[in-house]
Amino acid sequence: MDQSRLIAVGQMTSGDDVDRNLDACARLCRAAKQQGAALLSLPENFAFLGRGDGETLARMEPLDGPLFARFRALARDHQLWLSFGGFPERASDTHAHNAHVVVDDAGNIRAVYRKIHLFDVELGVSQYRESAAIMPGREVVVANSVVGRLGLSVCYDLRFPGLYQTMSARGAEVLLVPAAFTLMTGKEHWEPLLRARAIENQCFVAAAAQTGRHNDRRDTYGHAMIVDPWGTVVAQCRDGEGIAVATVDADWIATVRRRIPVHAHRRADVYGPA
């Protein structure tokens, strides 16, 4: 394996105890480092997952605040690039951004994406209204990293292919999809959507995930995985906490794109640019 291009995705069960969540993230960092990964992606809500909007807002702070500093220190301590898949970054007195932050192995922030698509849906008796506490972002983010050029997203973004087409058009090689996918939708949609985004954009997709029962109101699907540009699931987590690792093979990306040159065949003159 090319160790410099080895990426890991993490799977965990966050709750409302920040210290316990930090300990879980540290365990995932140690496991990723032991396997030679250069970058570990952590899921949405890695720092905190409570029962309601009020608890989330109580935890929000700027990215230079003391809470996120504790998690940034993990990158420096383990000499590992980290993708923090969804943090409540203060946006106003009443709303946070759901911020996906990439940090290098010295703990420096290299890129910030603020979730664009907010999860306001009804699933049977369960209702979700992310917009009650979260302010949507407005910027597509693609950033260089130790494992290649990253396209950043969060969870529900996965259902909007135009976002990923824009990122791949801007040179993304790896699409990061950290998530806390619901148990109900995860069973039916998680893997098919991840494989579709990989196939149509001819990119690796690395999807960190929350899993299991977080409280009496929230269960998540898990199945953190890495999908290659051909749509093959090349690594996947089992139940519970853990990591999955795979090599981001630039030659394989190039081969897939030569075989079926969809990027060259897109008809922006007919249906607009990505």
What does each C-alpha distance from 257 to 60, 154, 229, 252 come to in angstroms?
A: 41, 25, 9, 9
Task: Verify whether residue 29 is a known catalytic residue.
Answer: no
Task: Verify whether residue 139 is a known catalytic residue.
Answer: no
Give the separation between CA 62 and CA 151, rounded to whole angstroms: 22
For the beta carbon of residue 62, count every other beta carbon within 10 angstroms. 11
Q: Which of 115, 130, 173, 237 is catalytic?
A: 115
Label the pairing between strands 6-12 and 39-42: parallel
Task: Verify whether residue 44 is a known catalytic residue.
Answer: yes
Q: Are 48 and 87 in contact (CB under 8 A)?
A: no
Give the separation between CA 185 and CA 109, rounded to whole angstroms: 32
Q: Which of 25, 29, 155, 237 is catalytic?
A: 155
Q: Which of 25, 29, 44, 89 is catalytic?
A: 44
Which residues carry out catalysis?
44, 115, 155
